[in-house]
Chain A
Amino acid sequence: MYGKPALGTVLPMAGLTATPEVLPGIPFARGLQEVAGAGFLLYVSAAIALLSIKLWFRLHSSGASTGDRT
C-alpha cells in the first residue's frame, strides 16, 4: 500500500492563546484525538502480543535446531 505518506498530520491544540473549552468545537476536536490515541494504544498492545508470539516461535525453533545437533 502506498499510504505511508498520509501518516503525517497536524495537531489542533498547539498555539491556542485562549482556554480551549471556551471555543466552539474544541472539545469535539479533542475527543477525536483521544479516540485516535485510544486506538493507537490498542494497536500497540496488539503489536506487543504479536511480537511476543514471534519471539516465542524464534526461541522455539532455535531450541529445536539445537536439539537436532546434539
Chain B
Amino acid sequence: MITEILLWSAIAIIVMAGCYNATLFVLSRRRVRRAHGPRRQRLYVFLLACLNEERVLAESLARITGLPAGNFMALVIDDASDDGTADIARAAARATPGRVQLLQRHLPDARRGKGAALNAGIRHLRSSGLLDGYDPHDVIVCVVDADGRLDPHVVQAVDPYFDNPRTGGTQIGVRMYNRDKGLLARLQDMEFVIYGDIFQSARRYIGSVGMGGNGQFMRLAALDTLMGEDGGGPWSDSLTEDLDLGVRLIAGGWTNQHCTTAAVSQQAVLDVRRLVRQRSRWFQGHLQSAGLVPLILREVPTRAAVDLLYHLSSPVLILLTSLLPLSFLVALTGTAIGSVQAGRPLISPLWVLGPYVLSFTAAYAYAFVYSRRERGLGLLRAVLLSHVFIFYGYIWFAAGWWGLWRMLTGKQTWLKTART
C-alpha cells in the first residue's frame, strides 16, 4: 500500500508540473491591458558591470551609444579587470562625449560579485552629480551584461511601461546572438524565448514577473526603497541577485512588467561543461533565495506569493524529478537484458506511448512559441528541435546536484562564465 502511494506520488510530480506549465501557457496567450499615467521625459542609465570583458564590451557600447533615444548614458563599472576593459570604456567615452562614463573599482574592494559592483555603480551615480536635477521616479536604470546587445528600439518599447507609476521594473526578452553557431546555442536561445514568452508573459497576470540579470530596467525610486540599513545598495550578494531583487520589488509593493517587444541578445555558451557550471551557479543562487520565503509570506499578495513559492521551490522538484529518468534508464536496461534472457520482447507498446505523452506533449507548445519568434525555422523543424530541447532540459539535473553539493560543502565563490 505504501509502495503504491509513493509510486503515485512520483507520478504526481509530473502531473503537477504539467498542469502548471499548461496553465501558464494559456495565460501567456492572453493580451495584456496596461495601466497608463502621464507621459514623462525620462533619463535612461545603462549599467555594465565588467570583469575582463575586452572581447565583447566595445560592441555592446557601440550598440548603446547608437540607440535612437534622447536622454541616456552608459556607466561602465570596471571591477578591477586585468585586461583592456577600462581602455575600451575610455575610448568610447572620448568618441561619444557625455554618453559613456567609467567607474573603476580596485582591489581589495572590487571583485565581490555582480551585486556589489552594481551597488557601487548606483552610489557613483549619486555622488558624482550625474543625476542632479532628476526625479528618481524619472530615472530608469538598466542592467546590461557586457556582452549584451540591445535592440535599437528598446527604450521606445520599455518606456510606456513606466507611465504606470507603480511599475518598479520591466524585464525585456533575452536572445542568443550566436544561436546559429550550433545546436547548444540554438537550444539556449529556445530556452530563453520559452521562458520569456510563456512563463514571464503569464506572470504578468499573476503579479510575479521576475527580473533577469540582463535587460533589467528599474525605476531608481523603486531601487531606493530597497536600500539596506547600511546604505550598501539595492542588490544583494546572492549568486542570483536578479531573482532576489525582483522578489523584493514585488514585496515592496512595486509591479514588475515583462516586455515582449524588445530583447537583449547575449552570447550563448558553446561548451556543455561550461554550460552545466553556469547553471550550477544559478541553481545554487536559487537555493540561497529560500531566505526570501518569510518576506514572501508576509508582504507579497497571495496569488503572486503562491507562484513565487512554487518558483523558488523548483530546485527541490528538479532534484526529485532527476531520479525518474535514472529509474527509467535502469528499468530499460534491466528489461532489455531480461528480454534477451527470455528470448522474447518483454515490452509492450505502452513503453513507447506512455513515456512519450508524459515527456513530449509540452514540446508541441514550445515549438509553437519558438516558431513564432523564428519565422525562418518553420513549424516542423521547431517541433523536431523542441523534442531535443526536452532532453536538453536534463542539463538541469547535473547542474542541480552539483549546485547542491557546493552549497552543502560551503562553497560560495564562482568564476564567471568566460566569453569566447
Q: Which residues of A contact B (CB under 8 A)?
A: 1-18, 22-26, 28-30, 32-41, 43, 47, 50-51, 53-55, 57-58
Contacts and interface: CB of A to CB of B under 8 A. Distances in A.
A25 B331 CA distance: 6
Given A34-B6, A37-B5, A25 B358 contact: no
Contact of A10 (B20, B305, B328, B342): B328
Contacts of B362: 5, 8
Contacts of B10: 11, 33-34, 36-37, 40
A4 B390 CA distance: 10
A3 B287 CA distance: 13
Contact of B314 (A3, A22, A26, A58): A3
B348 A1 contact: no
Given A10-B358, A32-B323, 9 more contacts: A6-B318, A11-B355, A16-B351, A18-B346, A24-B337, A26-B331, A37-B13, A43-B320, A55-B302
Contacts of B330: 12, 25-26, 28-29, 32
B244 to A, nearest CB: 13
Contact of A1 (B283, B324, B328, B358): B283
A8 B192 contact: no
Contacts of A13: 7, 331
B297 interface: yes
Interface in B326-365: 326-328, 330-335, 337-338, 342, 345-355, 358-362
Contacts of A11: 10-11, 324, 328, 354-355, 358
A28 B342 CA distance: 20
Best-buried of A3, A17, A53 by chain B (most CB within 10 Å): A3
Contacts of A58: 302
Interface in B286-341: 286, 293, 297-298, 302, 305-306, 309, 311, 313-321, 323-328, 330-335, 337-338
A38 B9 contact: yes
29 contacts: A2-B194, A3-B315, A5-B194, A6-B397, A7-B21, A8-B362, A9-B324, A15-B348, A15-B352, A17-B346, A18-B346, A22-B338, A26-B331, A28-B330, A29-B328, A32-B324, A32-B326, A35-B323, A37-B5, A37-B6, A37-B9, A40-B12, A40-B13, A41-B5, A41-B9, A50-B297, A51-B306, A54-B302, A58-B302
Interface residues of B, number: 81
B414 interface: no
Interface string B261-283: 00000000000000000000011
Given A17-B347, A32-B326, A8 B335 contact: no
Given A33-B327, A37-B5, A7 B342 contact: no
Given A3-B396, A33-B10, A40-B10, A15 B358 contact: no
Contacts of B328: 9-12, 29
Interface of B: 3, 5-14, 17-18, 20-21, 191-192, 194-195, 199, 243, 282-283, 286, 293, 297-298, 302, 305-306, 309, 311, 313-321, 323-328, 330-335, 337-338, 342, 345-355, 358-362, 366, 389-390, 393-397, 400
Contacts of B389: 5
A54 B305 contact: yes
Contact of A43 (B317, B337, B349, B360): B317
Contacts of A10: 324-325, 328, 354-355, 358-359
A53 B332 CA distance: 43
B250 to A, nearest CB: 14
A24 B316 CA distance: 29
A23 B337 contact: yes
Nearest to A27: B334
B6 A7 contact: no
Contacts of B309: 47, 50-51
B297 A7 contact: no
Contacts of A25: 330-331, 333-334, 337
Contacts of B354: 10-11, 14-15
B387 to A, nearest CB: 12
Nearest first, the 4 A-B pairs at minimum CB distance are A25-B334, A12-B331, A15-B350, A37-B9
